[in-house]
Structure 1
């Protein structure tokens, strides 16, 4: 198994997500800068694109991920890669992961709000 390039933190928070002609909800079980592990009764398939609204336990407005990709799905669990989010939302995510993990969470964000780098082993999201 390959090492992660970003710290993963355990969380338990609600998420609303939307894709082409569907809106559903679920739970985020863990979170990292490039993605998350989500659990939902809604069936999703690898390759689908969705938008997310994460209700983090920081008592702020939901964190909006403009574009995310389903990288793998197994039963009710889904590995999600964040593809595009605004710079302020990316900064908030970095701060949340940093506070929760106690580790350095520096990352690179390009001008379009896309996290630089990609996950080589998709199940490691």
Structure 2
């Protein structure tokens, strides 16, 4: 079994995402610096790429993930790996995760 590189935290924060499949909204249910798992009624395919905006309670603006890849799907839930995250956005995310 592969060990995760980043600490995961349980959250329940809104997220919006966009890719070739269109746009969608959902709720994150776990989060790390390397990715997140979320639930949404918008169908996505494994390996699809997307942009994400994570709405964090302590931030006025969403954390923007320039590029993420769907790593798994299960019903209305799916997981994404963050492939491209600006250093400043990563810092905001890091502070949020550390505060939980």
Write the deviation string for residues 64-118 of structure 1: whole angstroms up to 9, x where unpaired.
Answer: 0000000010101101100001110011111111121xxxxxxxxxxxxxxxxxx
Q: Which structure 2 segments of 5+ residues have no match? A: none
**TM-score normalized by the length of structure 1:** 0.76
3-state SS, counterpart of residue 6 of structure 2: coil
Q: 2:37 matched to 1:16?
A: no
**Pairwise mapping of residues 17-36 of structure 1 onto structure 2 (< 5 A)?**
17-20=17-20, 22-36=22-36
**Count of aligned residue pairs for this structure pair:** 100
Q: Which structure 1 segments of 5+ residues have no match? A: 101-125
3-state SS, counterpart of residue 7 of structure 1: coil
3-state SS, counterpart of residue 45 of structure 2: coil
Identify, as 1 or 2, the structure richer in strand: 2
**TM-score normalized by the length of structure 2:** 0.94
Q: Give me the CA root mean square deviation.
A: 1.1
Match of 2:83 in 1: 83
Q: Which has the larger radius of gyration?
A: 1
Distance 2:2 2:20 in 1: 33
